[in-house]
Amino acid sequence: MVLSDLLQNIIGGVTVGATYGLIGLGVVFLWQSIQRINFANISSAMLAAYLFYTFYAQLHLGFLVSFVVSIAIIAAYGLALRYLVLEPINRHGGDKLEFVVATLMLCIFWLSVVKVIYGGIAKPFPPVFGEATSFVQIGSISIPSVYFWIFFVVLVLVFALHMLLQRTMIGKMFRATAQNKEMASLVGINVDMTTSLAFMLATSIVGIAGILLAPIYFVSLDLGGGPIGIKGFAAAVMGGLVDPLGTIAGGITIGLVENFSTLFISSAYKDVISFVVLVVVLIWKPRGIFNWTTKGD
């Protein structure tokens, strides 16, 4: 095991882990807003990837247009999620558990829809972030150009979110509502609007994560459920379900743990180790490892 091998794995783990963090953000925003867990969180990633593929590779609409339109649709989907799933369930007397199961079914539903429309075989992501085989060589380490893009976008996104939440009016309203809904509405904040905003943000961020992951995961059903969804939850948990930066840190941690357990232990049990880590964190520090907020949940 040479240093370059180690570095290679670190780079891979960090990059992919950052996207897990983005997926975790989708969980966090929704939790902060409505105290519910959306088990169809990861579906936004898959849908965004497939939408982008359709616009760019099939309809040849150009990168920017494809990207913007895909994310716009996913944001609208976020709104639909609120008004077509959450509200009806609340109206008919359902509570947290019903929402959980409904979103679980929604996740399966989206997998079926995609399978029907696009078929079950994975499709290659178009080379918008550079050819899949183009690498940047630094010494004996080669980094796929895709990784640079992923890292860049994650940085920009996290920075933008930070600005949004800390520096803008909307962000302040959002945070206020998350802390205490009643107080917020008393102070005149439009809670209804912030709730819708939360939904749209959650799905859009995960959608962007999906497009970023598609070069690595391919435009496939793997993006829409199963292990990757769990990793998103794990990242969110590590951030205590409240701290966005902590969530990203949590995701990166998971990415690294995965890579190193494969390197030093065995690839067969890679997922088991991730789950064990998750359980240990949950039991030992349910407040989250990377929770740097001053207030608790």
**Helix, strand, coil % in the chain, rounded to nearest 5:** 75, 5, 25
| Per-residue CA distances from 163 to 27, 160, 171 (Å) | 20, 5, 8
65 near other proteins, judged by CB under 8 A: no
Q: Stretches 44-52, 71-79, 126-134, 187-195: which one binds other proteins (CB under 8 A)?
A: 126-134
Looking at 151, 226, 289, 293, which residue binds other proteins (CB under 8 A)?
226
294 near other proteins, judged by CB under 8 A: no
164 near other proteins, judged by CB under 8 A: no
CB-CB neighbours of 138 under 10 Å: 11
Nearest approach in angstroms of CB 159 to other proteins is: 26
243 near other proteins, judged by CB under 8 A: no
- What string marks each residue from 9 to 38 as x (binds other proteins by CB under 8 A) or -? x--x---x--------------x---x-x-
Determine phi and psi for 77, rounding to 5 degrees. Answer: -60, -40
Q: Please give the Cα distance from 271 to 273 (Å, whole number).
A: 5
175 near other proteins, judged by CB under 8 A: no
Q: Please give the Cα distance from 17 to 26 (Å, whole number).
A: 15
Nearest approach in angstroms of CB 176 to other proteins is: 15
Determine phi and psi for 154, rounding to 5 degrees. Answer: -60, -45
Looking at 115, 152, 170, 292, which residue binds other proteins (CB under 8 A)?
115
Q: Identify residues 254-283 at the interface with other proteins (CB under 8 A).
A: 258-259, 262-263, 266-272, 275-276, 278-279, 282-283
8 Å CB contact between 256 and 13: yes
123 near other proteins, judged by CB under 8 A: yes
Q: Please give the Cα distance from 182 to 176 (Å, whole number).
A: 10
62 near other proteins, judged by CB under 8 A: no
Looking at 3, 58, 131, 166, which residue binds other proteins (CB under 8 A)?
131
- What string marks each residue from 134 to 153 as x (binds other proteins by CB under 8 A) or -? -x------x-x---------
DSSP labels, 140-170? TEEEEHHHHHHHHHHHHHHHHHHHHHHHSHH
Looking at 64, 93, 169, 294, which residue binds other proteins (CB under 8 A)?
93
The amino acid at residue 197 is L
